[in-house]
Structure 1
Amino acid sequence: MMTGERTERRRWGIPAAARPFYPMLALAVIHAIAFLAGRGIDRAWLTAWAAVTASASLLFAMGRTPQTPAGKVGRDTWRWFGLAGMAWSAGAAVQAISRIVFSRSAVAVSPADLFFLIALGAMTAGFVMPIGLPRSARPWLRYLADTYVCACALFVVAWVAVFDHLYRLSGEGWAEFLIELRYPLLDAVLVCGLLPMAVGAVRGYRRSTIVAYCALAVLTTADVLYVVGRLNGRGPYGTAADLAHLAGLLLLGAAPWVRRRGHGDATRRRLVGPGIAPTATAAAAAIFVAGHTLTGAQGLRPVVPIIAGSAVLVVLARLGELVHDNDRLRHAARTSEKHFRALTESINDVVVICGLDGVIEYVSAGAQPSYHYAAEDLLGRSVTELIHPEDLPKVVAAVRRLLRDRGDDVARIACRVRAPDGTWLPTESTICRYGSSGGNAADRLLVTVRDFSEQAALQRQVTHLTFHDGLTGLPNRAYFEERAREVVERSQGTVSVIFVDLDGFTAVNDSIGHAGGDQVLAQAARRLRAGVPADDTVARWGSDEFAVLVENATEVQAVVDLGERLVRTLASEPYRVGDRSIVLTASVGVAFTEDGIGGLELIRNADVALSRAKDLGGGRVEVFAAKMHADVVRRLELGGELQRALTEQRFTVEFQPVVELATSRVTGVEALVRWWRDGEFVPPEEFIGTAEESGLMIPLGNWVLREACCQVARWRASGWDIGLSINLRPREIAAPRFVESVATALDDSGLSPGMLTLEVEEEVLVDGGDELIARLSALRDLGVRLAIDDFGTGYASLAFLRQLPVDVIKIDPSFVAGLGRDETLTLLTRTIVRVGRDLGLSVVAEGIERPEQLVLLKEMGCPRGQGFLVARPMAAQGVEALVRTNPRGEASIPLHGSALSAG
């Protein structure tokens, strides 16, 4: 079974290209049968039958034409041709009836002439449909003049060849004989006038209109044969005329079926005449034939000279109009040339006119300011002398392609042009044909050259800015990633990446502003560039991070030494910002290539090593190890689990009692957050750091604050005189609305601000700066008590204690652990207790785990303490079960009278 494509191409073994001739074949068969079967009847009936079949074919084609803009042209054409066929059929029928009525073989004038004239008019309208008619009078006059001359020439030739002899035999007068020639004369006019319409039809209908024009020519021949037969006593002319009529109507009926399908065009061409050349040729032929007639032995024939003479007069008028048009066109050309020269002199581009051999014939004034060439320096030179040798082959190829392919009107080429000083300037040139040598081939080229130097420089600048940092001038992150990828892919040796970060740079921006921070970064970049070998790449990775790509890391220790040298270089001397000196340290992470890793993985490993160096306190070098990446992945996974746990409220708050050592009375509790993951306890030291890194410490701390305040407020409402202590992390204090969140938690819970103590590590207070002091002072203004946690480890001075209104100091557990075992720690603890008492501060000892520690603290006069010996952290229900109310209604823990008693 044939495929759809095969079926479309061939059906019953006949190619698809032959299908348009099916209707023609069918009409030919019908006409032949009618002609052979109609030997005994008037042939006018055969003409009527042929006209009916042609009209049916045309009207059927009209119905099959699609309703599109291009299809409307065809529908109108087939409609008028179909009307012509019907009029022809009616005329033939009337002619046959007239012969019967008047009992004559021929009738000079009959009612059939009206229908024949209608048929010729309808056929003319059919030819006009695919043509856009002119709206001004001048094209119409040219068209009518050309048509008249051609028709006159055709008549003169036909007169001399045929009609002159028939005229002498007829014995009729001029008027009667011209009536006999009415159809040949009218057909001659139509054949000459409709030729431009047939040739100028729209694309897709041109083939059909040419077939219809051939039908008109055949019908004209039939009319001539018919007249000759009538005037010559019939003979063989009658049968030939009938056959010609049938053939012409056959062509007319087949016209719609020979057009190219799918190539219709709705744009109509403008009407043009035959042109002055064929018109003059026809007039010359007419003059020659007329002259031959006038010099013959037959005597004067007044019709021929009159027609020939009028044709000559029309040709002379056309020649005069042509001369006038030529003058007008020459004037327009000169004006256009002036305008062209003025335009080329006014634009910045350089306009060059050269021959096909490349020799410069004209150059505009733009060559002087753009390329510093005077016009006389370039005239007569070849453009090949000015084009860069590397660009010359492609320029020559483009010009040859322009001249060879007539469809290409313009060629655009980018090339370099030599300046007088020998430098090469980038340009963009447009080349097109200019002028002609009497034929179709252009004999000159018009070249417009634009200086592309500024655009090229701008493009280089944009490229530089795309891959370089605007502040430091170093390559940026995009360039470094691409460079690292290329180096790792092609390198056969060891490649290393060093990440460098300035420690504490955020505080620099906060203290002196971002403008001052930019100055610090610029100075750090210069130090890095000076400390790294020139063959290695130094880039600014982002913010205060820099990256170094060591392409030939021959020894691992040499790269590590380079990292340590960069740490020393960046911290060697203070950074100067105005009159300020800023001291900064740097952290460095180093990673080396391994099997199976690419450039991006190498960068990631160096970043992980840098994070490890900063976690260990900064100011150091860390080399990447696989365990670091595993720790990073684990922290990321832990961050995701923390987020889900916070959303699903899987955290709990435990409380560790703080007691008055002298009376064992519980004076407060410290709130501690606990995370139970899948029924297992996760130590705080494992997730607090991750919570701070992931930004979850702020919402988690707010939740702990609200829960603890609500619980202690309930206890106080039950009669317990108990306070609350909560340890703060640096991220919580730095939160924008931290003070407002504390005030909101107190208002919502109803807890008095004086019952809340917020603990801050001593190291945070020392490094926090003025902004942290301001925030803690705002908390103090709310009535909240402040405590210094882990006192003794952060080197806080006594002056600092006086600067910040602190209420409580908590002795670090490391001091309490040495009581009774280390004389120095015992002395330091005693000193802290005495200083706190002298300054009026409440002192709390943390980490009490052994009885002797409790005894020594009592002897020192330490007022309060907490630790596992006193009580472990426990849930709220555990606190309620542990404490008991003495007869005076005070909550206390039974330290005395037990194994943990102070004695």
Structure 2
Amino acid sequence: MTSHPTGDDDPGAAPSPTHETADDTTFAGPAAEDSAAEDASVAGPGTSDRDTSERGTSERGASEAAAADPTEAEATRVNGMRHPWAAVAAASGIGMAGIVAALITGGASTLIVAVAGVVTGLLAAGSLITAAARVAPAHRRQPAGWRWLASGSLTWLLGVGVRPAADGTPFVLTFADLLMLAGSLLLAIGTGLSVQPPAYSRGVLRQGADAYLSAASIFAVGWVALLGPAFHKAQDAGAFFFTMALPVVCLLAACAVAPAVVASRSGNRVVGLTGVGVLGAVTVSELATALARLQGDVPPLAAGLVAPAAFLVLAAAPWTQRERPRKPPPMPAAVPPRVLAAATPLVLVAVATVVVTLYGVAGPDGTLAVAAGSTVLVLLGRLFVLLVETAGMRRLVDVGERQLRRLAENTGDVVLVCDHGGLIDEIGRDVEAMYGYRPDELTGRSIFDYIHPEDVPGLQALLRRMAGADEDGGARSQEICRIGCRIRAADGTWRPTESVATPHVRNNELILVTVRDMSDQVALRNQVTHLTFHDGVTGLPNRAYFEERVREVLTHRGAGGAAVIFLDLDGFTAVNDSVGHASGDYLLGQAARRLRSAVRSDGTLARWGGDEFAVLLEGGMAGSGMAGSGMSGSDAQTAVDLAERLLRTVSSEPFRVADRDMALTASVGVAFAEDGLTAGDLLRNADVAMSRAKGLGGRRVEVFATHMHADVLRRLEIASDLQRALLENQFAIEYQPVVDLASARVMAVEALVRWCRGGTFVPPEQFLGPAEDTGLIVPLSEWILREACREVAAWRAEGWEIGLSLNLSVRQITAPRFVETVSEALTDSGLPADALTLEVIEEMLVENAEDTIGRLSQLRALGVRLAIDDFGTGYASLAFLRQVPVDMIKIDPSFVSGLGRDETLTLLTRTIVRLGHDLGLIVVAEGIERPEQLDLLREMGCTRGQGYLVGRPTAAHRIDSLKRTTLQNTG
């Protein structure tokens, strides 16, 4: 909340109340006390807790606190003078002086009554008008009620003043009677306005019914006791009723407002009760006067002075309230006073019923009178029981309201009550702990003084909307409104808050507001937002932010000059495996800092995920190219130059991690925005280009081309069909012979998978890669293993001692239960373990080396033979010959293809063969396609060979023809 400072006030300072001294006579009391007690009754728990905290404060301390805080005094003070009873003494003295003067002069009783009435009426009117002018502006109803009371007093004294002259006229109902009748009605209106009205329309109806029952009961008793006999003695019925008009109207008026005053929840009902007393006194006085007139007698002086005495009390009533701090009401009693007040009409009806029944027993319809009277009495008893039950329910409501208020305050929320103009009527004590204000600083002030100026119009509109139903004369809406605004604390800071405003259940003109400080939630929300769009490891924007940024650039700036670069760290998996994920994260942080230094400020660098990073270059970075005009040559060159710079940044020097240097390279892909290209397509293209660079060995930059996307789509289509092919058994196995070069005998067969897709042969290089990427290679390899073991075991059962070779994939060897699967396949087929040779490539030994070597050792322990396929093409062949217990090496076809034509390849092949012999390994040459290759290999002493010259892959049912195959008949 914020105030609107004026002049030289500090706009950041909290508003401070204007202090007044003890001599200050500014009146703020009657309405304020009325409101204070009413608020305590309505609010309950909030003020009760405050009273508990102040229970140890002395009366002197409470008075000093009230004097030091004029805001609180305005809400509670009821007397601006040091001696409140001085007003009573002064008014009584003046009134008695007037009466004594009339008596000394020897005037008639009517003259004495007239003088007393005029004097006391003037005193009452002047006192009420003065008091109304000095009421605090926060209480608007009571000044209006007091002015009505003053008007009634003036009108009544005019009637009393002219009555001596009017009594000499021949009219039964004189002009003086009409003035007094009007004055009585004005007094009734003022009395009703001096207290809070009932909160609901049904409350008005109930009080109207109570007023009628009370008036009718009193009239019935009066009729039986006085009016009935007087009526029978009267010679003119019309004159009787006109004479009785004034006291009857006064009686009705008193009974009409009495329930509202008694049932009012206002703690200060002095003026209201005094108003009821004045109406009652006027009723008694005028009744005595009317009866005397009917009998032709002079009205008794004592009866005539009853009303002036009541006006003296009315003159002093606004000034008799004590100055005291606001206190909460006690816990509701078992039978609250308002229940007894509500039972008063029932008691009056019961009394009237008894009186009328006793009066009617002596008549001819005595039995009927007894029956009717008893029925009414029983009904009244039933109504009284219902009234007590209703009181119990109301007490439960009061207790529940207290508990809810206490619960709200214990949760740290601030509960306040204000009117539709934003004026704070009451506020909970938690406001001091939450915002630094004392409750008495805020009470009586506008909430708009503490609301951020930008939020004030919306809040004002909401309050007007909540008050709109009343302005239209309709029923009040019970809608719950949620308010979000910023409130200024006492330290000058703005606190985001969330409030719930509901119409007050007991007062049409008030709103109950629960305010919750959302500072922690907003700070947490901002932190969550930051974490949502930023990476916790590198501090860079994350994938979600980057995608949104690309969409924004393409939407608002078009495709001109925009480009996306994807970068993947080559070999990062080995870092995690060797030094752990924590060190891997540390390396990513170093890489992010290097990349950030290489990207210009107008580019967006983000961590895409894992070990991948992305860069967005917006259009026109090279100074040319308009939005939507496509990629210019300079922009394209700028993007490619940045991609190469990023590549050099990563590979220029090793990363220091876990006390060791880690040399990494990167694969970089570049894609350019085009007209009509979506953000998703642009990101996909950059990813495809990066994958292309990685597939080509890494440490390079690739720019996206359309055919790359076509290749990706083809791979995705093949991957999709692989699943169905597995389910529909579309795969077949062909066996390629492995021949002993010395004896020309087939020693083993290598199982090769074939796929006929829709009648079309799919080359293995086209579907084995997608199968590896999707993980389908694992079930496919297991099927090949089991099927090939079964076939070879069947051939061996026929007496053909032949072995089986199978290629392993990376996913297959790292799959769960891989070793168990191999063991089960051997057991189920009956194939001896030493008849199975599993081939691995060097890349498998480099990645996840420790785990891979461990599993290969387990296979070796089963008796399975191991072979290194494509030997000589990697950089770690010799090292792994020492670590891996292999039985065989297979020379890569690239060496065999150069035999007899390339002296270097011939020398390298000879070296590999000699190395295998020295290590006691079987050496197999792959890719033998020409006779001179075969001759050279035999001359080198190569153990075995395979290739199209030796034998082409063939189906299982044709394998029998290979049982006696020799090199001489291999054609």
Query: Which interval holds the TM-score relative to the shorter structure?
Result: 0.5 to 0.7
What amino acid sits opposite 1:509 in the alignment?
A: N
Cα 1:453/1:747, change in 2 over 3 Å: same
Q: Determine the structure 1 residue equivalent to 2:328.
A: 335
Q: Assess if the C-alpha contact under 8 Å between 1:344 and 1:364 holds in 2.
A: no
Distance 1:385 1:333, change over 3 A: closer
CA distance in 2, matches of 1:334, 1:421: 29
Residue 389 of structure 1 aligns to which amino acid in structure 2?
A: P
Q: 1:286 to 1:365 in 2, by over 3 A?
A: closer
Residues 500-527 of structure 1: per-residue CA shift (max 9 Å, x gap): 2222323333333322222222222222
Instruction: Classify the secondary structure of the residue corresponding to 1:716.
Output: helix
Distance 1:731 1:370 in 2: 60
Offset of 1:858 from its aligned partner? 1.3
Matching of residue 546 in structure 1 with residue 539 in structure 2: no
Provide the C-alpha distance between the structure 2 equivalents of 1:151 and 1:684, rounded to a whole number of angstroms: 115
1:696-715: CA deviations, max 9, x gaps? 11111111111111111011
Alpha carbons of structure 1 residues 868 and 415: separation in structure 2 relative to 1, 3 Å: same
Cα distance in 1 between the residues matched to 2:223 and 2:702: 107
Instruction: Give the SS at the match of 1:892.
Output: coil
Distance in structure 1 (CA, Å) of the matches to 2:547 and 2:749: 53
Shift of the alpha carbon at 1:146? 4.9
Q: Does structure 2 conserve the Cα–Cα contact (< 8 Å) formed by 1:575 and 1:582?
A: yes
Counterpart of 2:881? 801
List aligned pairs for 1:418-437, cutoff 5 A. Answer: 418=488, 423-428=493-498
Aligned length: 647
Report what 2:810 is aligned to.
730
Partner deviation per Cα, 1:608-666 (whole Å, 9 max, x = no partner): 22222222222222222222222111111111111111111111111111111122111
Question: Residue 704 of structure 1 aligns with which residue?
Answer: 784
Residue number in structure 1 paired with 2:542: 476
TM-score by length of 2: 0.58
| 1:842 aligned residue (919, 922, 927) | 922
Tell me the CA shift for residue 386 of structure 1: 4.9
- Alpha-carbon distance in 2 for matches of 1:796, 1:285: 121
Deviation sequence 1:726-752 (CA, Å, 0-9, x none):
111222112122111111110111000
Decide whether the 8 Å contact of 2:865 with 2:887 is kept in 1.
yes
- Decide whether aligned partners of structure 1 residues 618 and 742 sit closer, same or farther in structure 2, where only a CA change above 3 A counts: same
1:389 to 453, 469, 482: 453
- In structure 2, how many angstroms separate the alpha carbons of the residues matched to 1:633 and 1:435? 67
Aligned to 2:964: 892
1:652 aligns with 2:732: yes
774 and 342 in structure 1: CA distance in 2 versus 1, 3 angstrom threshold: closer
Superposition deviation, residue 164 in structure 1: 4.6
758-767 vs 374-383, which deviates more?
A: 374-383
What residue in structure 2 maps to residue 530 of structure 1? 597
Counterparts in 2 of 1:362 and 1:771: CA distance versus 1, 3 Å: same
Tell me if the contact between 2:950 and 2:970 (Cα under 8 Å) persists in the aligned partners: no
User: CA separation of 1:642/1:359 partners in 2, compared to 1, >3 Å: closer, same or farther?
Assistant: closer
Which residue of 452, 455, 477 maps to 2:518?
452
2:954 to 874, 878, 883: 874
**Greater RCO (Cα-Cα under 8 Å, separation 6 or more):** 2
Q: 1:739 is matched with which residue?
A: 819
Partner of 1:389, secondary structure, is coil
Equivalent residue for 2:767, pick from 675, 687, 693:
687
3-state SS in 1 of match to 2:698: coil
What is the 5 A alignment of 1:742-891? 742-880=822-960, 882-883=961-962, 891=963
Superposition deviation, residue 549 in structure 1: 1.8
Give the counterpart letter for 2:290 in structure 1. H
Alignment-mate amino acid for residue 292 of structure 1: A
Preserved contact between residue 353 and residue 363 of structure 1 (Cα < 8 Å): yes
1:149 maps to 218
Secondary structure at the aligned position of 2:697 is classed as: coil
Q: CA deviation at 1:489?
A: 0.3
Query: 2:746 touches 2:966 (CA, 8 Å); kept in 1?
Result: no
Shift of 1:558: 0.8
Equivalent of 1:503 in 550, 570, 581: 570
Q: Distance in 1 between matches of 2:508 and 2:831?
A: 102
Separation of aligned partners in 2, 1:287 and 1:360: 44
CA distance in 1, matches of 2:916, 2:285: 139
Give the conservation status (yes or no) of the 8 Å contact 1:590–1:623. yes
Cα distance between partner residues in 2 of 1:151 and 1:481: 88
Rounded Cα–Cα distance in structure 2 between residues aligned with 1:460 and 1:278? 62
Residue 295 of structure 2 is aligned to residue 292 of structure 1: no
Structure 1 residue 528: Cα displacement: 2.3
CA distance in 1, matches of 2:898, 2:236: 152
Q: 1:416 to 1:724 in 2, by over 3 A?
A: same
Could you list the runs of 5+ residues in structure 1 that have no partner in the other structure? 1-130, 133-137, 169-187, 201-274, 321-326, 884-890
Whole-Å separation in 1 of the counterparts to 2:513 and 2:605 = 47
The alignment yields a C-alpha RMSD, in angstroms, of 5.3
Alpha-carbon deviation of 1:343? 12
Query: Alpha-carbon deviation of 1:383?
Result: 6.3
Does the 8 Å contact 1:503/1:587 carry over to 2?
yes
* 8 A Cα contact 1:160 1:289, kept in partner: no
C-alpha distance after superposition, 1:36-69 (max 9, x if no partner): xxxxxxxxxxxxxxxxxxxxxxxxxxxxxxxxxx
In the other structure, the counterpart of 2:678 is 598
Does the aligned pair in 1 maintain the 2:871–2:877 contact within 8 Å? no
1:861: Cα distance to partner?
A: 1.3
Q: Which range moves more in the overlay, 148-157 or 695-704?
A: 148-157
| Letter of the structure 2 residue corresponding to residue 876 of structure 1 | A
* CA 1:612–1:337: 2 relative to 1, 3 Å: farther
**More divergent stretch after superposition (475-484 vs 419-428):** 419-428
Task: Structure 2 unaligned segments of length 5 or more: list them.
Answer: 1-201, 238-247, 261-272, 314-319, 332-401, 471-475, 623-634
Q: Is this contact kept in 1: 2:230–2:291, CA < 8 A?
A: no
2:566 maps to a residue whose letter is F
Distance 1:386 1:768, change over 3 A: closer
- Per-residue CA shift, 1:248-303, capped at 9, x if unaligned? xxxxxxxxxxxxxxxxxxxxxxxxxxx99899969955863564234434799xxx
Letter in 1 for 2:823: A
Q: Partners in 2 of 1:363 and 1:296 — Cα distance?
A: 59
Q: Do the aligned residues in 2 keep the contact of 1:589 with 1:623 (CA within 8 Å)?
A: yes
Q: Is the 8 A contact 1:763 1:795 kept in 2?
A: no
Give the deviation of 1:538 after TM superposition.
2.0
CA–CA distance in structure 1, aligned partners of residues 798 and 219 of structure 2: 127
* Aligned 8 A contact 1:820 1:826 in 2: yes
Map 1:626-645 to 2 at 5 A: 626-645=706-725
CA distance in 2, matches of 1:840, 1:354: 98
2:734·2:954 contact (CA, 8 Å) conserved in 1?
Answer: yes
How far, CA to CA, are the matches of 1:405 and 1:549 in structure 2? 56
What is the deviation of 1:867?
0.9
TM-score (norm 1): 0.62
- 1:652 is paired with a residue of what secondary structure? strand
The aligned counterpart of 1:462 is 528
Q: Does the 8 Å CA contact 1:503/1:619 hold for their aligned counterparts?
A: yes
Task: Report the Cα distance in structure 2 between the residues aligned to 1:286 and 1:165, rounded to whole angstroms.
Answer: 20
Q: Contact (CA 8 Å) 2:754, 2:764: kept in 1 or not?
A: yes
Q: Are 1:502 and 1:584, in contact at CA under 8 Å, matched by a contact in 2?
A: yes
Counterpart in the other structure of 1:220: none
Per-residue deviation, residues 117-144 of structure 1 (Å, max 9, x unmatched): xxxxxxxxxxxxxx99xxxxx9999997
Contact 1:156 1:286 in 2 (8 A): no
One-letter code aligned to 2:484: A
1:517 is paired with a residue whose SS is helix
Provide the identity percentage. 56
